[in-house]
């Protein structure tokens, strides 16, 4: 079954967010006095963007409703209901693997990059809540623009996520921590439930290359990279977004197979080619069956987030 056939929960504006956008247009329209021509031009451009965004979200919701109706008519799997999703809590999960997203990089990011990071956090939450056995997800060290942006999400406070303003190093024993970084010389061979895996929540477009790895080394925290080179050949750098790293870990707890987990998640735009014959990008029946074995229900959340802006890179 292709990913288009599977219906997933999309990240859409809440009524509060839509009201906030409308108020934003109204407030900006009332504060034109004293602005330069350049500022007025930017203000008008933002007003147009907000109006287009609202219409685009409305259109996407209608498309989602139509796709779901067509899938039901064809007897296809439309994913778990909201009632079923409520049963997929971290507390009831058979998986006790802890994954932390380190959001202490607020000062290193622009407002636009913070928005991208928060979308990736939303995607991680969506992926986790739709998993049969969710990971134990922690979002730590939020402050400044990142925390403000999260607070603007209407239902963020109700997420089944362990939020903490403290740094991850203050919550967990240092000996249990493993910081995931593409610059590390160590390679993960397995995941252990007595370890805590840390993902760097930094969107920086390669401006701070190696920052997460350097901070982990300075703090004497263990570090490792995903075993990408052992299973895949990539034309681009092995730097993935926060949600892609999280999804790979989530997939591995289900499949116990790095090849399947990596191949399933890493975007095709990175020029991925499997080093094993059984996992090629050819549109063969074997490939289709292999992909069907993996949980693809949350691809929609990531793709919808990426529609409004270009793909970004994150230090993992």
- Residues for the chain: how many in total? 316
Buried/exposed 230-263: b ≥16 CB within 10 Å, e otherwise: ebbeeeeeebbbbbbbbbbbbbbbbeebbbbbbb
Residues 103 and 124 sit within 8 Å (Cβ to Cβ): no
Q: How far apart are CA 3 and CA 236, in angstroms?
A: 24
Q: How far apart are CA 125 and CA 150, in angstroms?
A: 12
Residue with tokens 């997203």: 101
Residues 6+ positions from 50 with CB-CB distance below 8 Å: 21, 24, 25
Q: Which of 13, 102, 204, 302 is catalytic?
A: 204
The two most distant CA atoms of the chain are separated, in Å, by 66
Would you call 185 a catalytic residue per the annotation? no
Three-point CA angle 29, 35, 38, nearest 5°: 100
Q: How far apart are CA 264 and CA 274, in angstroms?
A: 11
Strand, helix or coil at 124? helix
**Annotated binding residue at 226?**
yes
**Annotated binding residue at 200?**
yes
Residues annotated within the binding site for S-adenosyl-L-methionine are: 180, 200, 212, 226
Question: Which amino acids are annotated catalytic?
Answer: 204
Residues annotated within the binding site are: 180, 200, 212, 226
């Amino acid at each position: 079954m292709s990913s288009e056939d599977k219906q997933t929960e999309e990240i859409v504006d809440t009524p509060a967010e839509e009201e906030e956008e409308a108020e934003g247009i109204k407030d900006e329209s009332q504060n034109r006095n004293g602005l330069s021509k350049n500022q007025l031009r930017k203000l008008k451009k933002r007003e147009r963007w907000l109006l287009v965004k609202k219409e685009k979200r409305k259109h996407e919701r209608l498309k989602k409703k139509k796709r779901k109706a067509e899938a039901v008519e064809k007897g296809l799997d439309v994913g778990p209901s909201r009632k079923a999703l409520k049963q997929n809590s971290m507390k009831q999960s058979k998986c006790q693997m802890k994954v932390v997203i380190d959001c202490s990089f607020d000062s290193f990011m622009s407002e636009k990059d913070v928005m991208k990071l928060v979308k990736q956090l939303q995607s991680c939450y969506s992926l986790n809540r739709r998993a049969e056995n969710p990971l134990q997800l922690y979002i730590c060290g939020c402050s400044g623009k990142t925390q403000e942006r999260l607070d603007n999400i209407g239902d963020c406070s109700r997420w089944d996520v362990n939020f903490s303003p403290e740094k991850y190093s203050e919550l967990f024993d240092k000996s249990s921590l493993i910081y995931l970084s593409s610059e590390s010389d160590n390679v993960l061979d397995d995941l252990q439930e007595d370890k805590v895996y840390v993902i760097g929540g930094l969107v920086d477009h390669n401006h701070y290359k190696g920052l997460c790895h350097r901070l982990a080394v300075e703090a004497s925290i263990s570090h490792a990279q995903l075993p990408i080179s052992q299973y895949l050949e990539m034309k681009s750098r092995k730097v993935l977004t926060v949600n892609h790293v999280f999804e790979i870990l989530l997939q591995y707890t289900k499949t116990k197979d790095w090849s399947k987990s990596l191949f399933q998640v890493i975007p095709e735009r990175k020029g991925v080619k499997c080093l094993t014959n059984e996992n090629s990008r050819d549109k063969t029946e074997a490939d289709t069956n292999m992909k069907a074995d993996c949980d693809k229900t949350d691809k929609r959340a990531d793709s919808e987030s990426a529609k409004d802006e270009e793909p970004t890179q994150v230090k993992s």
